[in-house]
Structure 1
């Protein structure tokens, strides 16, 4: 008989996973802790080690991968299952991924395959949504507050790209711009790792050595992530600038973007109390994926559909595999195509609503937490 210890932090998906464990009648306890440093925390190790020894737990479960949870599970020889919704995994030392206790489920097939090839116990598992968690009886006042033509929930990715490229030669700057521009033209593929060469890193670090008094050197992972964020940030900025010149556009983000005067800056939207209202009351919900996501369907997409919202997304390979494009969601091929499709669906309300309803029915049927957790613990 399984008894799971569900490690929780301030993440998404906790409620849906708990409800699924209850429906599947899998006994579990929860342990909550919010890290300041995910890789070094002696107090956590002491508390979690004590907790895990209190009961005969058969498994430990978490949203995203915690190196310190993995460390304790390895010590006590308990399987550790982590369902990852981030891309990339934000840890500095990746050696901990190879521990024998780990079973890592990635929402992005491309990421899962990459880790599988490296020897990590990695599987592909698309994300899920609990539509009951997001169901709300919307008041007339709430409709007035949240209704808009287009909304985007998420970061605008204001990077330090300009700062880190300032000391570099014009040639290196031009090469980096070429990488960003090439990636911006490609939808459904992640080119940046192939274009970041060791020669490029060596040239960059040679320039940094001339000016950095602290010995700073740019690593491959750091450069690839910075370029991916810069590319995504530019695409989001251009999309919002283009649409806000013609329609009411709301941005829900902790980022401040002063270059978009026509966009309504709405600030942070709480995941459970506000986000469902944003998604259900926006005529179009934009999804512009972070470029590090190779094939996967971001959590934002399943959440929008789970709230009954209409999704207009950049192309992702798995969207085409799991949904009927044009009937359950809509995909754009470039920014011009995005604008044309936004205009069309804003002018065709019944078709837009029909697609949103079909998307909701699809995630209700095929993207449940019960199905995902059953597969994790019984089929894989």
Structure 2
């Protein structure tokens, strides 16, 4: 198969490209977003559209979901395969996830239960994976110092997303709001198996974040999947689809 791989430099991309090639597939990559983090959705649209117009592919692939790529693939009638490896991925709240040319794979079964109803035939569960041989080679070639420093009963590789936490970017912190949110987060940490935050984040709190944060995740009008006052609405980062 011939695969068009849209990249943004996810830690997962290299392993997946290697796996595709080991299975005998040809992979062409669009790498612009690796080197330019200010790529707009309009540019992404042009990059993917031009490639699909000039060349023939069996499907388009990306780590995480790009609504604009989904729309382009819907027009070209080519499958768009995306593997969700983060949570939350706010782009999943776009109506584009309902497109019939999508094949969306979610690593989190809870996310699957939230989103599968919006495209039940084409949203699936797929756990995370990695190139074990590659990671094992790092261990085999590690120095004695590194082995002692990094050997633990439990290890975590990844980001805690603390640098993306919108809470630290609030311009105005009222004592009431800070107390409410701090208490809510502390309570959530003590309860396993029940997600309280979605139910406790009211429209008023969403509006408070909107007023007091410069960076906002904005969907185009009528393009948001749900108006539920979800915590996803206040984990904000700039984006425009068109």
Task: Give TM-score, length-normalised by structure 1.
Answer: 0.48
Q: What is residue 7 of structure 1 aligned with on the other side?
A: 6
Query: What's the offset of the Cα at 1:76?
Result: 0.8
Distance 1:45 1:163 in 2: 30
Query: What's the offset of the Cα at 1:116?
Result: 1.4
**In the alignment, is the contact (CA less than 8 A) between 2:30 and 2:47 conserved in 1?**
no
The 3 A distance-change label for structure 1 pair 26 and 201 is closer
Task: Give SS of 2:96's match.
Answer: helix
2:197 corresponds to 1:185: no
**In the alignment, is the contact (CA less than 8 A) between 2:197 and 2:231 conserved in 1?**
no
RMSD of aligned Cα (Å): 3.6
2:144 corresponds to 1:143: yes
Task: Give SS of 2:49's match.
Answer: helix
**In the alignment, is the contact (CA less than 8 A) between 2:63 and 2:85 conserved in 1?**
yes
The 3 A distance-change label for structure 1 pair 139 and 117 is closer
Q: What is residue 134 of structure 1 aligned with on the other side?
A: 135
The 3 A distance-change label for structure 1 pair 186 and 53 is same
The 3 A distance-change label for structure 1 pair 182 and 224 is farther
2:175 corresponds to 1:174: no
Distance 1:11 1:114 in 2: 24
- What does 1:1-380 correspond to in 2, within 5 Å? 2-34=1-33, 36-37=37-38, 40-42=41-43, 44-91=44-91, 94-119=94-119, 121-136=122-137, 142-145=143-146, 147-148=148-149, 153=157, 154-155=159-160, 157=162, 159-161=165-167, 164=170, 166-170=172-176, 172-198=177-203, 200-201=205-206, 204=208, 220-221=230-231, 225=235
Q: Which has the larger radius of gyration?
A: 1
Distance 1:92 1:168 in 2: 31
Query: What's the offset of the Cα at 1:166?
Result: 4.4
Query: What's the offset of the Cα at 1:155?
Result: 3.7
Task: Give SS of 1:6's match.
Answer: strand
The 3 A distance-change label for structure 1 pair 110 and 38 is farther
The 3 A distance-change label for structure 1 pair 26 and 45 is same
Task: Give SS of 2:20's match.
Answer: helix
Distance 2:16 2:142 in 1: 31
Q: Matched residue pairs, number? A: 216
**In the alignment, is the contact (CA less than 8 A) between 2:106 and 2:126 conserved in 1?**
yes
**In the alignment, is the contact (CA less than 8 A) between 2:107 and 2:126 conserved in 1?**
yes
Task: Give SS of 2:137's match.
Answer: coil
Query: What's the offset of the Cα at 1:105?
Result: 0.5
**In the alignment, is the contact (CA less than 8 A) between 1:38 and 1:91 conserved in 2?**
no
Distance 2:48 2:141 in 1: 46
Task: Give TM-score, length-normalised by structure 2.
Answer: 0.71
